[in-house]
Amino acid sequence: MALVAAVLLTTVGGTTTAARAASPGAGTVSATSPNVAWTGGPFAFTLLGDSYAATAELVTEPAAPAPGPIGAASFTTYPAPGTLPRAHDAGEPSIGVNWKTGKVMYQAYTDTYRVSFDDTSTPATAVWQDKSAHLPRCTANASLDPILYTDHDTGRTFESQLAGKTSLMCFTDDDGETWTPSQGGGINSGVDHQTVGGGRWSSGGLGGLGLYPNAVYYCSQDIADALCASSRDGGLTFGPAVPMYTLLDCGGLHGHVKVSPKDGTVYVPNKGCGDNQAVAVSEDNGLTWQVRKVPTSLPADSDPSVGVASDGTVYFGYQNADGHARVAVSHDQGRTWVSDQDVGAALGVKNAVFPAVVAGDADRAAFAFLGTTTGGNYQDAQNFTGEWHLYVAVTYDGGATWSLTDATPQDPVQKGSICTGGTTCGTDRNLLDFMDVQIDKQGRVLVGYADGCTGACATGGAQNFDALATIARQSGGRSLFAVYDPVTAEKVKKK
């Protein structure tokens, strides 16, 4: 039974300014008023015969770090040609990169596109090709939710189309030339919002069968809980789905599964776990899970995202309750968090949606999101008039500072509202629920997003609620792998 302690905070003049509920062990109670006094303590509370004692202490929150520099990375955008069947139906896209071939895979609803970049010219050029897994090649003909994942080490790409408590899944080892059908998910998987991911096996649990070097995970939510199944044979079959948490712990919807390249720890982020956002964590290859909260966060509307660096450092990017884009960092698998800060402040971003995070070296990560400098209720279709752009923040010092770039300064991604309320939305849900970010073998950041403002809208006209498949690819600045940093005079001198 969970016991709840409530602490009443009042102003010096006696007006109530905050009342905060805290579960046992939560540790802190906070208020934002500059003139707050607490009413006394310790406090004892009774719930159905059980009791719990708590004390409250008001402390001054540390000042937020000053906004970091801007423009450390630059980007070039590559929209899909309109000749592709689903080019304008790319809401909530996924992107993957095959480090063996350099090919980029992009999922637009049931279509899978392969993108080839040519860096012999500046800027690089891109060729988009349709390599979809439709019948008779495979099973991707209908979907309740699409998702794609590329294991960049092996080059295997999975595309999954939600079909109730499983998915129609196929994988390819040759960048979409041929496809192999999969079981699609574990027995008793969830009905919604699936995610597919993978990586090295943890030494703390049962490993693979020797048919494929890495683990593959299929996770989804089932209203009352969320579950994850692991594959020991490279995604051909999956074991039974195991609960990650229930509604007593977190809301059902979750973000995308990520795996630590250092030790195989599995992370699934969640936007609402009691008073905070959190990650569900497995250290035994998906057999058991723990919910580990980010105590400086508050629940919000967009799914958070994690990026895991080469040394296991976890970067947690999220939309906070006030709409701002924030990042926190963990060096102990989500048990504690540091350096939580507003990464949109440098350019005045007041609302952000669709967090997407990727990491490279231990001290390097990128956080992509759609943002607007207009505050207020961004889901108010009648009154919100903000202009949204794609922003990317990068860190080269382990999250101590972040440099923010407006990746689409002359080309808005959306005008007006963006609805993140699911199926209750109207026409402003054209972008659906998320976007994706990955890195290539050289550490360049690639963001897969849907452009909702195209044609005349992009040059000053009215919002047209498009969803054009688009990639923003890093074209300047340091990548997320230091080994590919440009050689400078200072480096030559040190040698």
Return the DSSP state at 80: P
Phi, psi of 423 (to 5 degrees): -70, -5
Tokens 């004892």, residue? 44
Is residue 362 a contact partner of residue 329, using CB atoms and an 8 Å limit? no
Which CA distances in Å does 355 have to 129, 320, 472? 27, 11, 15
Write down the pLDDT at residue 488: 63
Phi, psi of 26 (to 5 degrees): -65, -35
Which parts of the chain sit beneath pLDDT 50?
A: 1-52
State the Rg of the chain over Cα.
23
Rounded CA-CA distance 459/35 in Å is: 48
Q: Which residues contact 459 (CB under 8 A, 6 or more apart)?
A: none
Phi, psi of 296 (to 5 degrees): -90, 0
Is residue 146 a contact partner of residue 109, using CB atoms and an 8 Å limit? yes
Write down the pLDDT at residue 52: 47
| Three-state SS at 461 | coil
| Three-state SS at 489 | helix
C-alpha of 115 from chain center: 22
Is residue 148 a contact partner of residue 159, using CB atoms and an 8 Å limit? yes
pTM of the model: 0.88
E strands, 212-304, in order:
215-221, 225-231, 242-246, 258-259, 266-273, 276-282, 290-294
